[in-house]
Structure 1
Amino acid sequence: MEKHSIKKVVEGLLNLQDTGDSATLLGIGPMSQNCVQAALELSNDDDYPVMFIASRNQVDKDEFGGGYVNGWDQFRFAKAVEEVAEKIGYDNQYYLCRDHGGPWQRDKERNDHIPEEEAMRIGKESYLADIEAGFDLLMIDPTKDPFEVGKVIPLEIVIKRTVELIEFCENVRKERNLPEIGYEVGTEETNGGLTSTETYETFINRLADELTSKDLPMPTFIVGQTGTLVRKTEQAGKFNFDNAYELAEMAKKYKVGLKEHNGDYLDDVSLLMHIPSQITATNVAPQYGTEETRAYLKLAEVEKDLESKSLIETASNTYDVLLEHAIKSERWRKWMVGDQVNLTVDEITNNKYLAVEILDIAGHYTFNDEEVKAEIKKLYENLAKHNIDAERFVIDHIKRPIRDYAEAYNLTGVTTRINNILK
């Protein structure tokens, strides 16, 4: 099947809207290889394109710390997705996407307060690896400024950095004679300044002027605030249809798609309202990591039952090891509410209710830890003795929320529908 550029796909979606048809693409955080397989299987079966949206913490160059997902850099990530696609006989369209690329986008870079010049240099080197590895879409997000914590970063600075980074990426892409790539700009964060429709339109207008003056392409997506917000393992925001609809209409004037972030854990009503709102794409990530963690814990429960019945000799220690590593990772802090952000590891370890909550939130950050991998391997082996395909259970468990979103977002058959309208 011929693969359209991501820009062409969005053009097709915007054209579909004009015919009374519509769909919202799903950007899936590649939380693990199991997650990648779950997404590709559904994309193949139900005929829709899928975007894998990797943050720099998840996938990055080894010299910047690599990624917590399988230790992937950009090339190993691309190869892993390709291998899964080959294994399952994939025949649709998937897109490798950089989520929140740019300066200070790794936790360590912000914590170390590296200066702007160094942060921009690192951001550009990371983008270069993305481009050389064949990424299809790059999010340009220069708004995570450690020197402006809690402040709205001036629009002039956001636009200046955005244009500089797009110009860099376009230059290196053309130098290497590589295919067209798409760009995503803006941010869902409140300190990005794009929280009102007025600011959003001002941003698009001024960005368009700057890009046109330098003969640079308009972005494929502009991120806008639709009211969504993820905290812990729930949707803490409230989907705002009116805001989404207005932003989508505004973006469409420039032949650009509205992208929503923080789309995890949305209820069915909110999901179904995405089609009339004409949002072109939604990002969902931590929810799939949590689903995988929950799958392991269910399998560990089955394993313990089998051990109690003397049907296996020794159960793995999956639960305890996942719990210990999740707490020690401290990556849960990003998702906590209020003063819980400052909880100590000891406070959590000594509170079984908090500990269980932290495991649900942060278990997926530990899947690549050697001790965790060893326990999961033992878990799989124990269950295989009783004809339980644990890996298949995990993949199918991750599929459940992806399927729910894909159905509500009218994605079934959308690859064919886009192909027909682009002919």
Structure 2
Amino acid sequence: MKTPIKSTVKALLELQEENKSATLLGIGPMSKNLLQASFELARDYDFPLMFIASRNQVDMDELGGGYVNGWNQFTFMEAIKEIAVKTNFNGLYYVCRDHGGPWQRDKERNDHLPVNEAMALGKKSYLADIEAGFDLLMIDPTKDPFEVGKVIPLETVIERTVELIEYCEQERKARNLPEIGYEVGTEETNGGLTSTNIYETFILRLQEELDEKGLPMPTFIVGQTGTLVRKTEQAGQFNFENAYELAQMAKKYGVGLKEHNGDYLDDVSLLEHIPSQITATNVAPQYGTEETRGYLKLASVEQKLKDYGLIENPSKLRDVLLYHAIQSERWRKWMVGDQTELTVDEIMNDAELSTAILDIAGHYTFNLAEVKKEIDKLYANLNQVNINGQRFIVEHIKRPIRDYVECYNLQGATTRIKEKL
């Protein structure tokens, strides 16, 4: 039987006291290539994996499915199991819902669904997570479209959080399924859980409400450590003191501090994570961007091979990726200032901005039939000259993940955790 994620986090908190701990890495599952890269690294470096899927990425077909491989909760789990077998991985991995709950699909938020309807859809999605076998559910009712630009009252967040945990626990127990973990809180920089005072107030009030209903404390509470992703860079500033204080506060209650927006951190900031005692970090868009960059490098090689007369008919992968990345409009959430309001036509007519959008949003298009067709053609062309394109992509994705593995003291972490349990 798999070690519950709550037990793994408890072991990590104890290992922190012995200076033997690690910071877990939550990986946004952008593609099968990323899953393969993750499993191969975790196999070779002996650390636990966490795959963190948002509702836009993986969800029920009737709610719109997900943009990542068209996966719903069950096909996502099947793909993970398939790749674990393919890579001979027999360590620990956890499948996690990132930002579950009401209004967490873009359409639900844009449609301004009333609270009752949004909560019902959030619960329906959680039920599929539970039945599919997810190990951790993030309970996030903070994307309220009626509170845009405002800080949602703490009591409202707590009330909705408790309601959702109670629902999930009832449904889990009714199906006699194993214990799952919960993640709560928000990473928002404007009014999120930034100061230790607000953080502790949140924990205490949440504990009070959960205890009253006989519900478990969460495994992770998200806290703001200064990180912020914009475009394809870390636009925030990692705050060691804040991170350390929040981590100690969470540990008092047997909970791990979870950091979001951990993409594109430099080595100095990454190395600060172990002494700051952050228990886990989420990284998602960076790894999708790395895969896009890998494809563009292969497309450049392919063009050179045509110039050398070694292949006749190159793919149109770059052009197809570029067009669909811009048309997706999913880049808007990562832009800054007036750029969030640019029209598709304005971007299409600006070569420099188009290239930047491709870097940001290429990974949102990987599941489109036209993109898949060009990737297959690219691979076939390169194969003619003994270049394994798919292997290059997997290794390309591994590079930034390996940086986190090394700095987060993850090598050997599974063995250390098992010895502690």
Superposition TM-score, scaled by structure 2 size: 0.99
Q: Look up the SS of the partner of 1:282 in the other structure.
A: strand
Q: How far does the alpha carbon of each residue in 1:207-248 deviate from its partner, in whole angstroms, 9 at most, with x for none?
A: 000000000000000000000000000000000000000000
Number of the residue aligned with 2:375: 376
Number of the residue aligned with 2:71: 72
Q: Please tell me the residue identity of whatever aligns with 1:187.
A: T
- The size of the alignment, in residue pairs, is 421
Q: Please tell me the residue identity of whatever aligns with 2:159.
A: K
Identity over aligned pairs, percent: 74
Query: How far did residue 299 of structure 1 move?
Result: 0.2
Query: How far did residue 192 of structure 1 move?
Result: 5.7
Number of the residue aligned with 2:24: 25
Distance 2:191 2:118 in 1: 17
Superposition map of 1:14-413 within 5 A: 14-190=13-189, 193-413=192-412
Superposition TM-score, scaled by structure 1 size: 0.99
Distance 2:101 2:203 in 1: 19
Distance 2:112 2:57 in 1: 20
Query: How far did residue 324 of structure 1 move?
Result: 0.2
Q: Look up the SS of the partner of 2:386 in the other structure.
A: coil
Distance 1:214 1:174 in 2: 14
More divergent stretch after superposition (189-198 vs 143-152): 189-198
Distance 2:401 2:178 in 1: 29
Query: How far did residue 160 of structure 1 move?
Result: 0.2
Cα contact 1:137–1:184 (8 A) shared by 2: yes
Q: Please tell me the residue identity of whatever aligns with 1:355.
A: S
Q: Please tell me the residue identity of whatever aligns with 2:51.
A: F
Distance 1:187 1:328 in 2: 29
Q: Look up the SS of the partner of 2:312 in the other structure.
A: coil
Q: Look up the SS of the partner of 1:315 in the other structure.
A: coil
Which consecutive unaligned segments of at least 5 residues does structure 2 have? none
Cα contact 1:6–1:136 (8 A) shared by 2: yes
More divergent stretch after superposition (187-196 vs 334-343): 187-196
What CA RMSD, in Å, does the superposition of the two structures yield over aligned residues? 0.7
Cα contact 2:189–2:226 (8 A) shared by 1: no
Cα contact 1:227–1:240 (8 A) shared by 2: yes
Query: How far did residue 195 of structure 1 move?
Result: 2.3
Distance 2:320 2:247 in 1: 45
Q: Please tell me the residue identity of whatever aligns with 1:255.
A: G
Distance 1:275 1:190 in 2: 22
Which consecutive aligned stretches of 4+ in structure 1 deviate over 6 angstroms post-superposition?
none
Q: How far does the alpha carbon of each residue in 1:363-411 deviate from its partner, in whole angstroms, 9 at most, with x for none?
A: 0000001111110110000001111000000000000000000100000
Distance 2:52 2:115 in 1: 25
Distance 1:188 1:164 in 2: 21
Distance 2:358 2:292 in 1: 8
Query: How far did residue 193 of structure 1 move?
Result: 3.2
Distance 2:308 2:413 in 1: 49
Q: Look up the SS of the partner of 1:190 in the other structure.
A: coil
Distance 2:142 2:191 in 1: 6
